[in-house]
Structure 1
Amino acid sequence: MKRLSPLFLMLATLICFIYGCTTSAPAPPKRTPGHPKPYKVFGRWYQPLPDSKGFRQRGIASWYGKDFHGKKTSNGEIYNMYAMTAAHKTLPLGTFVRVHNLVNNRRVEVRVNDRGPFVRGRIIDLSYKAANEIGVVGPGTARVEVIALATPATTDGGRPRSYVPVDLYTGNFTYQIGAFVNRENAERLSAKLNEKYRNAHVTVYDRGDQVFYRVRVGKFTTLKQAEAQESVLIRDGYIDLFIVAE
């Protein structure tokens, strides 16, 4: 057997050292898509909802297209302007919603996979395809109603698989004004609401790894009664409110 020369061994060791140093660093841990932690955009904090049950919201929809096509969304997917998706500030990522254009009465179902729109008064950003389906592309915006159809259902790998239908029309209706991880903050807002409105209260939701204190106001026996109160609450500055069925 031939012996390896000392020069060869020295060069081999040097090469291994160089390449070993450049490739052995561990990759940074990946962020868990859709983890509902508070986040801050343009100086404002947003608290994603722990679930979408009973969610219903009215406001202005807009859309986004080629400037974002091919870029990453908030849940790590690649944005496809020709897919049926949408961006929402607080709904759990993966939630399926029905968007009803209140101007032309057209409807579309989309999956929330991104965050936004961060423009005052707008509640949802539709993909180009979804916006085109309900006539939003031309005017750019439209008044819509967003209704949660389902909570996210995932595979073992955490990817959206299908949806679990939610009954939207049972129970009493109320408005959710906010959700907090600090009970004192929730109680403070509830007390403020009770100075002007009736039936402001705090409900506790234990997700398992986090407890949320949800501030709600009003008790209505019909959806029509609840919707009649919406403009009053918005006028008083509660623009991110939505109706839930308790």
Structure 2
Amino acid sequence: MNRLACAVLTSAFLGACATTPGPNDGNDGPGASNGAPGSDRYSLHQDTAPEERRDISQLPEPVPTNEPRSRYGNPQSYSVWGKTYQVLPQAEGYVAEGNASWYGQKFHGHRTSSGESFDMYQFTAAHRSLPLPTYARVTNLDNGKSLVVRVNDRGPFHEDRIIDLSWAAAVRLGIEQAGTGRVRVEAITGQQSQSQEANSTVPTAVRAALDSPPPSQAQSTSGTQTGTVKENEKSASLFLQAGAFSDRVSAQRLQQKLVNQLGVDTQIQHSEGNLFRVWIGPYENQQQRQQVRQTIADAGFDRPMPVSP
């Protein structure tokens, strides 16, 4: 699979991509070595699938844990090919949809942006803005396959792609042959993983809703009405979170689908960190909320997560 080459980053300690011969060698891949990440060159000109195609069907998914940020790859901002990217202060609540690509043989064994060696046989990924490391669930929107990956690298630097998967992750999700695929990326924290495992009603498969702490101050939108949820109302209300997005348009799209298909009351909560959360409700008691939650899942939507302001 061909990919555009990464440029030399402005900071040697960022290591978002290795120093490659230039932007015309057909690759756009993360990884680096020699001292600080981002200082070595790759032995291959073009990226390919591994010569040794190992069976990864039984390879376990990474288990999300709360890890400290890596020494490398986490500046507040960095620039590649004249464009500046911002690293998110935290991963909680991040959800985005777009195209995924993958990288393999060319970068295998070279250092990633975090300073770790890239292993194409493990479930890892590269992302432009998530803190390193971050655990994320990646869902193939075309076939429904879902996988947890550990983000430890920077990239891809194509505007039409949001994540670069390791070869193993691409195989598991069914996008290796096509080279790219439409995916949803959802950040997962260690606390969220433990909470989801403890709640038997929460499936371990695809989740559009993240059980992230709701904002203490939030603006809401319900249908065409815009306003602020009063604190005395929030304290006694129960909600369902159907999704969390980095842009309002995606949140409004999901909100409209819920309203059109199910007629449920929805709100868009705009929180600190510029996240737009789609909330359903409010409900007076747990039983009512759980009934609606099941109805939404039965209608074909990803099962929303219970939240309370």
* TM-score (normalizing by structure 1): 0.55
Cα contact 1:59–1:143 (8 A) shared by 2: yes
Q: 2 CA distance for matches of 1:105 and 1:93?
A: 26
2:118 maps to a residue whose letter is Y
SS at match of 1:75: coil
Name the counterpart of 1:58: 97
Alignment-derived partner of residue 103 in structure 1: 142
Map of 2:40 onto structure 1:
none
Q: Is the 8 A contact 1:36 1:49 kept in 2?
A: no
Separation of aligned partners in 2, 1:83 and 1:33 = 20
Within-5 A mapping of 1:49-198 = 49-150=88-189, 163-165=190-192, 168-169=210-211, 171=214, 175-177=245-247
Alpha-carbon offset, residue 165 of structure 1: 2.4
Q: Aligned partners of 1:59, 1:29: CA distance in 2, in Å?
A: 31
Quote the RMSD (CA, aligned, Å): 3.2
Question: In the alignment, is the contact (CA less than 8 A) between 2:95 and 2:246 conserved in 1?
Answer: no
After superposition, what is the alpha-carbon deviation per residue over 1:112-166, rounded to whole angstroms, capped at 9, x for unaligned? 000000011100000000110011100000000011111xxxxxxxxxxxx3426
Q: 1:44 aligns with which of 60, 83, 90?
A: 83
Structure 1: where are the runs of 5+ without partners?
1-27, 151-162, 179-198, 204-213, 224-244
Amino acid at match of 1:86: A
CA distance 1:29–1:169, shift in 2 (3 Å):
closer
Query: Which residue is equivalent to 1:221?
Result: 279
Kindly state the Cα deviation for residue 38 of structure 1 after the two structures are TM-superposed: 0.4
Amino acid at match of 2:185: V
Distance change >3 Å, CA 81–CA 45, structure 1 → 2: same
CA offsets, 1:59-107, max 9 Å, x none? Answer: 0011000111111100001111111100000011111111000111111
Partner of 1:145, secondary structure, is strand
Q: Secondary structure at the match of 1:131?
A: helix
2:151 is paired with a residue whose SS is: strand
Separation of aligned partners in 2, 1:75 and 1:59: 24
Report the CA distance shift for 1:44/1:221 in structure 2 as closer, same or farther (over 3 A). same
SS at match of 1:90: coil
Match of 1:237 in 2: none
Q: Aligned to 1:67, what secondary structure does the other structure show?
A: helix
Q: Any idea what SS the aligned residue of 1:147 has? A: strand
Deviation at 1:177, TM superposition (A): 4.8
1:36, 1:92 within 8 Å by CA — same for their partners in 2? no
Deviation at 1:200, TM superposition (A): 9.9
Is residue 141–residue 184 contact of structure 2 (8 Å, CA) maintained in 1?
Answer: yes
| Bigger relative contact order, structure 1 or 2 (CA pairs below 8 A, ≥6 apart) | 1
Aligned counterpart, 1:232: none
Count of residue pairs the alignment pairs up: 156
Is the 2:94–2:246 contact (alpha carbons within 8 Å) kept by the matching residues of 1?
Answer: no
More strand by share: 1
Supply the distance in 2 between the matched residues of 1:73 and 1:135 (Cα, whole angstroms). 24
